[in-house]
Chains A and B, each alone.
Chain A
């Protein structure tokens, strides 16, 4: 459990980080290290063996949370714990606030970053799930300029994301829902508290004054190569009053939207059944919060 040899550069600006990434030899594996909560163990086990490690921890201004008009911008180096405790996130992006509580443990959230989790792209991770549910936008920078990714197409497979090897994620933008009463629900099952989710479910709803659902986002983690929106269910529930019967009926569409696998901790069949159970609970949780 000793890392293989690697070069290490501590960048003092995004430009410097991007330059270091761009300067690496062709075919040389480059990695950005932010909080290191996932990468360092992977390197220790030699499951990750980058030739170059670019540390962005010292870059000023890369962390921070800012509420803008239609979204909350979260700097890539923002610690998960800081986002979890942020009033801006709590008030404007309630689903993310709920999801963050399930990320690892307080100790790992104190080091782990929002950007690191997004770029790592674990299929059961909570922050990517919230990003997909809410249609977040992810801004990355390279020496040549900036590019914005839609969360919906960012997570390409287990631990594989669309970000290019010479790019550094700088900001995640989580849309703020305005209008109506907003509620969020997040549910997951893991063998132990703080473990990677076996299945995670996220829902955010908006109700009008009469209690009718005007907008709903519903997504699942741990049941496909990346987080998945359950669009058919969203379509079925939009315009309803989110009665239990309607929710239960809409959950029938979950099975067609997911591709669960077996692993050591749970079977595909388990994941399929539990996905429905947890998404139903997440939607009810969101509904009840919006009604309250």
Chain B
């Protein structure tokens, strides 16, 4: 199937987004815009040492500084709060918002100063005297596995936090059957995602009502539960204001440390307390760093390019405090073999701790490094066999008539037509002309390359992958909810239960509700309930909101519509099956004059109990709490097989790059992308996600790295050294859509928030390697920085001349 799955009234139509109006008018309301009377400000004291014992902290001078109210240390906070949540089963790895006894990375917060302004707080923070005893640090990823490595958490006894091995399908038999094998290494550098807004939070404790109000720039599941666990107060004493606009997140807006610090201080001091990270706080000590991964891979394949199996070891350096970061080794199990027809896979997942800033979830939750690892291997097999890279992919891609397709790990891909999307992308790129352009550039002495990457985007979420890494996490739901009301004037209000961080959820809900109810989405109000009033939510992560929140919206709207049909039928004196609804009018089928308008039914529902069907509940309000569609809701079986994510979007990326052989500088000159995320809800939002995600991926491929020296000193603590691509570095992106609706969702929609980022690193790396291929160079470490590329070129030329 191609094109749109159905002829929608609002869905898939190019319509204005609901949120943009306030942002364009400068009327967003972000955490830093929250002004609570009497609010005090926090500045942080950070350790300059990668690893050091904290011998003493003297706050005397800081407390004498003007406007200072308190200096909080790790010892005090640890005595009064419970450790923060770790995803892994590592009871001896205790994580507190401020260092306790030992600083475990350069930039770790050791004290928090509260003052009348951030200026005064920073002045006082400089006066806090900390006596450190510096110690050797655990830094280099492979050395972390060695028994003589310095221990980040001595109580844990090892730097290995978890090591799990899995074997899905007949791995050894497939290897034995295969004619060839190829072993390679791929290295994903410590990069992340950088929202324009850093994390910010304001906490206020009301001792009379016993309510902790929290306004935060948050995107995290179970936020209030984690606050409650740490502070030891009931979850129903915490009110998280979900109507705060979040200035971008892409996974990293976790902020639990910041929140516990401000909430504790607000209760202790009896004053509202705010902590707005500056960029220095954010990049070294905040929730900023993403996966840092070393893959060792062996592929088994035949001479014709048929790839049968993969043995994979992934080491992930999660930094000093694991949080949810290590679980990013688990999610990719849902698409561990990518869009390819491998019949078995062996996976060893190793999570190691180091004296670096702790890892947090980043867009795709580990899938982008995984896709890069897979696509690197596909290109290497093509090069080894002398088969065209596109042809090799065509031979191995799952075919459209094979869906639903079950991969060895137990997940069934819902739908797709990978060959069609690839063909559309190639047509959009004008591939033959692109090859001619590349070859002409090469003939003129330049280095030029075309990248090819196929990219799977799992969408919908499902916590159960966590259980594969930590048996104690038996969480088999990952719900999202929508509450919908039609008031007595007929106006529709939909309530979501979480914050939104730029994904356009208000547009999503209004569009789907409008479609289901045949009401203009512009007239539908969408609000964010605070956490005390909200229905259950797991927050807008995992490319899941179109799928799960969209599904809940459809469900709630369908219930509303069904109830209105019932009221209409009762008042028109016919059976429900004879009532039709169209664009605001309920009428008897075949007798359009016998009708009731939308507003009349709303009025009846709210005011005229005597006209309601017997037993009907008055008024018009319905809700839906939706489990992940397609999930079994069970634990993995004894073979560790389980359906993880429900929906699988697909993209084909085709960038064109040229490299200056004298400087190693890469220019991405062209970029074509074909994408299929099922039914598109709003085309502008999907395109925005693709282009933004792609730019994010170009950064990971060429520029972005949180770098450390051999002693563990952090080197990339500002935008001078952590290089984000700007608009100059991103070419005009051309995209073409394809649509294979998901059979698992309410309108056929799938996820679209991650795909650009999940494909671009692999695609740009592929293009760089294509450009370097004539020199016999192949690189597999990201980011591919200009000096590394130039050094490889120089080395090759020296070899040849020597």
Determine the chain A residues whose CB is within 8 A of the CB of B794 once the complex forms.
273
| B791 touching A2, Cβ below 8 Å | no
Determine the chain B residues whose CB is within 8 A of the CB of A46 once the complex forms.
122, 126
Contact with B along A147-165 (1 / 0, CB 8 A): 0000000000000000000
Chain B: interface residue total (CB-CB under 8 A): 31
| A274 touching B728, Cβ below 8 Å | no
Binds A, one of B222-230, B463-471, B587-595, B715-723: B715-723
Binds A, one of B248-256, B740-748, B782-790: B782-790
Determine the chain B residues whose CB is within 8 A of the CB of A191 once the complex forms.
703, 723, 785-786
Docked complex Cα distance between A175 and B122 (Å): 47
| A277 touching B662, Cβ below 8 Å | yes
Residue ID in chain A nearest B725 by CB atoms = A192
Determine the chain B residues whose CB is within 8 A of the CB of A277 once the complex forms.
662-663
| A1 touching B278, Cβ below 8 Å | yes
Partner of B726, one of A194, A267, A278: A194
Given contacts A45-B718, A189-B663, A265-B785, contact A273 B725 (CB under 8 A): no
Docked complex Cα distance between A45 and B122 (Å): 11
Partner of A192, one of B707, B728, B791: B728
Closest CB of chain B to A261's CB: distance in Å? 13
Determine whether A244 belongs to the interface, using a CB cutoff of 8 Å to chain B.
no
| A270 touching B791, Cβ below 8 Å | yes
Docked complex Cα distance between A196 and B660 (Å): 18
Determine whether A146 belongs to the interface, using a CB cutoff of 8 Å to chain B.
no
Residue ID in chain B nearest A277 by CB atoms = B662
A-B contact count (CB 8 A): 64
Determine the chain A residues whose CB is within 8 A of the CB of B267 once the complex forms.
none
Given contacts A5-B123, A265-B787, A274-B790, contact A194 B728 (CB under 8 A): yes
Residue ID in chain B nearest A281 by CB atoms = B662
Residue ID in chain A nearest B118 by CB atoms = A2
| B280 touching A1, Cβ below 8 Å | yes
Residue ID in chain B nearest A273 by CB atoms = B794
Docked complex Cα distance between A40 and B134 (Å): 33
Docked complex Cα distance between A189 and B60 (Å): 49
Determine whether B729 belongs to the interface, using a CB cutoff of 8 Å to chain A.
yes
Determine whether A266 belongs to the interface, using a CB cutoff of 8 Å to chain B.
yes
Determine the chain A residues whose CB is within 8 A of the CB of B119 once the complex forms.
2-3
Determine whether B665 belongs to the interface, using a CB cutoff of 8 Å to chain A.
yes
Closest CB of chain B to A122's CB: distance in Å? 11
Docked complex Cα distance between A278 and B664 (Å): 12
Determine the chain A residues whose CB is within 8 A of the CB of B660 once the complex forms.
189
Determine whether A264 belongs to the interface, using a CB cutoff of 8 Å to chain B.
yes
Given contacts A192-B726, A192-B728, A264-B716, contact A45 B280 (CB under 8 A): yes
Determine whether B437 belongs to the interface, using a CB cutoff of 8 Å to chain A.
no
| A189 touching B715, Cβ below 8 Å | no
| B663 touching A278, Cβ below 8 Å | yes
Closest CB of chain B to A201's CB: distance in Å? 11
Docked complex Cα distance between A207 and B662 (Å): 27
Determine whether A193 belongs to the interface, using a CB cutoff of 8 Å to chain B.
yes
Docked complex Cα distance between A269 and B280 (Å): 30
In chain A, positions 224-262 with a C-beta closer than 8 Å to chain B are: none
Of residues B119, B663, B665, B715, which shows the largest number of chain A Cβ atoms within 10 Å of its Cβ?
B663
Determine the chain A residues whose CB is within 8 A of the CB of B446 once the complex forms.
none
Docked complex Cα distance between A1 and B791 (Å): 37
Determine the chain B residues whose CB is within 8 A of the CB of A266 once the complex forms.
786-787
| A264 touching B663, Cβ below 8 Å | no
Contact with A along B368-401 (1 / 0, CB 8 A): 0000000000000000000000000000000000
Determine the chain B residues whose CB is within 8 A of the CB of A264 once the complex forms.
707, 715-716, 721
Closest CB of chain A to B533's CB: distance in Å? 36
Determine whether A91 belongs to the interface, using a CB cutoff of 8 Å to chain B.
no
Determine the chain A residues whose CB is within 8 A of the CB of B734 once the complex forms.
none
26 pairs, CB–CB < 8 Å, chain A vs chain B: A1-B279, A2-B119, A2-B122, A4-B122, A5-B123, A46-B126, A189-B660, A191-B786, A192-B703, A192-B726, A192-B729, A193-B729, A194-B728, A195-B723, A198-B786, A264-B715, A265-B785, A265-B787, A266-B786, A266-B787, A267-B787, A269-B791, A270-B787, A274-B662, A274-B790, A278-B662
With contacts A192-B703, A281-B662 known, what are 16 further pairs, Cβ within 8 A? A3-B119, A4-B123, A5-B123, A192-B728, A198-B786, A198-B787, A264-B707, A264-B715, A265-B785, A265-B787, A266-B786, A266-B787, A270-B791, A273-B790, A274-B662, A277-B662
Query: Which 10 pairs between the two chains have the least Cβ-Cβ distance?
Result: A277-B662, A1-B278, A193-B728, A266-B787, A189-B663, A270-B787, A2-B119, A2-B122, A264-B715, A191-B723
